[in-house]
Amino acid sequence: MTTAPPAADRSPGPSEWQSAFDAAVAAEERIEPRDWMPDAYRATLVRQIAQHAHSEIIGMQPEANWITRAPSLRRKAILIAKVQDEAGHGLYLYSAAETLGVSRDELLDKLHAGTQRYSSIFNYPTLTWADVGAIGWLVDGAAITNQVPLCRCSYGPYARAMVRICKEESFHQRQGYELLLALSRGTEAQRAMAQDAVDRWWWPSLMMFGPPDDRSAHSAQSMAWKIKRHSNDELRQRFVDICVPQAASLGLTLPDPDLRWNEERGRHDFGAIDWEEFSQVLKGNGPCNEQRISQRRRAHEEGAWVREAASAHAAKRRARETAPTGRLPGSTTGRPADRTAAPKGAPAS
- Binding residue count for another protein, defined by CB under 8 A: 69
Residues 249-308 that bind Fe ion (CB under 5 A): none
Q: Which does 67 bind (CB under 5 to 8 A by kind): another protein, Fe ion, none?
A: another protein
Contact mark string toward Fe ion, 110..149, x via CB under 5 A:
------------------------------x---------
Q: Which does 15 bind (CB under 5 to 8 A by kind): another protein, Fe ion, none?
A: none
Is the Cβ–Cβ distance between 165 and 147 less than 8 Å? yes
Q: Which does 172 bind (CB under 5 to 8 A by kind): Fe ion, another protein, none?
A: Fe ion
Q: How far apart are CA 144 and CA 246, in angstroms?
A: 15
Shortest separation between residue 286's beta carbon and another protein, angstroms:
18
Question: Does 169 engage in binding with Fe ion (CB under 5 A)?
Answer: yes
Contact pick of 52, 89, 236, 238 for Fe ion (by CB under 5 A): 89
CB crowding 121-156: b at 16 or more within 10 Å, else e: bbbbebebbbbbbbbbbbbbbbbbbbbbbbbebbbb
Residues 69-88 that bind another protein (CB under 8 A): 69-78, 80-81, 83-85, 87-88
- Binding residue count for Fe ion, defined by CB under 5 A: 6
Q: Measure Cα distances from 165 to 121, 216, 225, 233, 324 in Å.
A: 18, 25, 22, 23, 45
Q: How far apart are CA 138 and CA 144, in angstroms?
A: 10
165 or 207: CB nearest another protein: 165
CA atoms within 13 A on the CB side of 171: 11
119 or 232: CB nearest Fe ion: 119
Contact pick of 30, 54, 172, 228 for Fe ion (by CB under 5 A): 172
166 or 310: CB nearest Fe ion: 166
Angle between helices 289-302 and 39-58 (to 10 degrees): 90
Nearest to 215 by CA among 239, 201, 232, 227: 232
CA pseudo-torsion sign 31, 35, 41, 44 = positive
In this structure, the chain runs to a length of 349
Q: Which does 140 bind (CB under 5 to 8 A by kind): Fe ion, another protein, none?
A: Fe ion
Q: How far apart are CA 157 and CA 128, in angstroms?
A: 37
Binding region for another protein (CB under 8 A) out of 114-122, 215-223, 239-247, 339-347? 339-347
169 or 256: CB nearest Fe ion: 169
